[in-house]
Amino acid sequence: MHPCFFGYGSLVNRDTHTYTTATRAQLKGWRRRWVYTAERGLAYLSVVPDADTTILGLIADVPNADWAVLDAREYGYDRIPSGSDVIHPRDTQTEISHYAVPRETWVPGGEQHIWLSYIDVVIQGYLREYGAQGVVDFFDTTDGWDTLVHDDRAAPQYPRAQSLSRQETALVDQHLALRNVRVIPA
């Protein structure tokens, strides 16, 4: 049996990786948050403990426990054993880990921003996996929406950017507007 990762952001979008054994799952006791680190130079999704929150996501096998590729993709994050926090349909003995940005690397204030192309990828994944309610759930279980968003759709800066339909971009824009997120040109 291979160990698994739990993805709660861009890893939910199956077009951003080659892990073919993905299965829907939930992570209880955690909440998403946009956090800024100097290492990445912009805000990325992380998770923080929150006993009252369960987030939707995916788990997928890490063949032969070869974490090197995934650890490289998730640089700046710590890989954390999820223990029994993941609700999933697989064998109960499955070892699962998730990634979180270490708090000591967070940089508050300053010129924090999120690439809109990154948000687009995440929302596309949630829409495909969980439908419109999954998108609502994502926004409701994610903090840090006061972070500035740079509209880079015309020239995506996010390395795993995807093409979205007009309906998908309209859905992203609608949810950002509902939260009064400030979106500016890149």
pLDDT per residue, tens digit, the chain (186 aa), is 789 999 999 999 999 999 989 999 999 999 999 999 888 888 999 999 999 999 999 999 998 889 999 999 999 999 999 989 999 988 888 899 999 999 999 988 767 899 999 999 999 999 999 999 999 999 999 999 999 999 999 999 999 999 999 999 999 999 999 999 999 997
Q: What's the burial of 126, exposed, middle or buried (CB within 10 Å: 0-12/13-18/19+)?
A: buried
How far from chain centre, in Å, is Cα 123?
9
Q: Is it true that domain 4-185 has CATH number 3.10.490.10? A: yes
CA dist., res. 3 & res. 64, Å (int): 8
CA dist., res. 3 & res. 96, Å (int): 6
Strands (E), the chain: 4-7, 23-37, 42-61, 78-81, 86-87, 96-100, 113-115, 142-143, 148-151, 183-185
Q: CB of 122 within 8 A of CB of 141?
A: no
Q: What is the pTM of this model?
A: 0.95
Q: CB of 100 within 8 A of CB of 47?
A: yes
